[in-house]
Amino acid sequence: MKSLVFLSALVVATTAKAEITATFIEGAPKDRFVLSSDSGICADTPISVTVDLTGSAGKLIFDVSETGAGVEVFQPFELVAGGDRVTGASRVSDGDKRLTLALNGLPKGADVAFTIDVDDTIGAREITVTDAEIEGAVLRVRSGDRMAEARFESDAVATLDWSDCAS
C-alpha cells in the first residue's frame, strides 16, 4: 500500500502545469497586450501566440493606419518588451482582427508585450475599448501539432492551461 501511495505522489509531482496569460490594457494613445507565463516549464519551447479579436463583444479591430477601417487615432504594432523572445510577427493591416507572434519560448518572468491601437466597431466611443468589449476574443497558442485556446473574459484577461508541454 505504501508503494502505491508513493507512486501516486510521484506521478502528481512530475505532471507539469503551466498557464500562459494574455492581458489587454486599454491606453491612450496606445493599447497594450502583455503575454506571460506562470512557470518556467516551457521556457525554451518554440510557440506561436495568436490574439484573435473575431469573437469579441465589441467587434474589435486593429487600427494601424490613418486610412482604413479604424477611427481617429491609429497606432501601428510595436513590440515593447520581450523582443529577444520574438522570432517573427504577422503583418497587421488596418481592420485586421488577428495578430500572431512566433516566440522561442516564454519563461516565467519574461513578459512579451506589444502596443497597437484597438477600436470597437459597435460602440458609441470607438476609440476607447472597455474591458468587457474584448470579452470573447481568443488567445491561441500552438507548438508543433499541439494547439490550445482560451477566451478573454470581461476583465480583459485570457488564461490558457498549457500543461505537460515538451521542453
Q: Given this model, what pLDDT does residue 44 score?
A: 75
37 in a structural domain:
yes
131 in a structural domain:
yes
Report how many domains make up the chain. 1
166 in a structural domain:
no
33 in a structural domain:
yes
pLDDT in tens, 77-95: 999 999 999 999 999 998 9
Confidence of residue 41 (pLDDT cuts 50, 70, 90): low
Quote the pTM value.
0.83
24 in a structural domain:
yes
Reply yes or no: is the peptide bond before residue 107 cis, omega within 30 of 0.
no
Determine the structural domain holding residue 135 and report its residue range: 17-161
CA distance 133 to 125: 12
As a three-state string, the secondary structure of 33-75 is EEEEECCCCCCCCCEEEEEECCCCCCCCEECCCCCCCCCCCCC
CA distance 125 to 94: 18
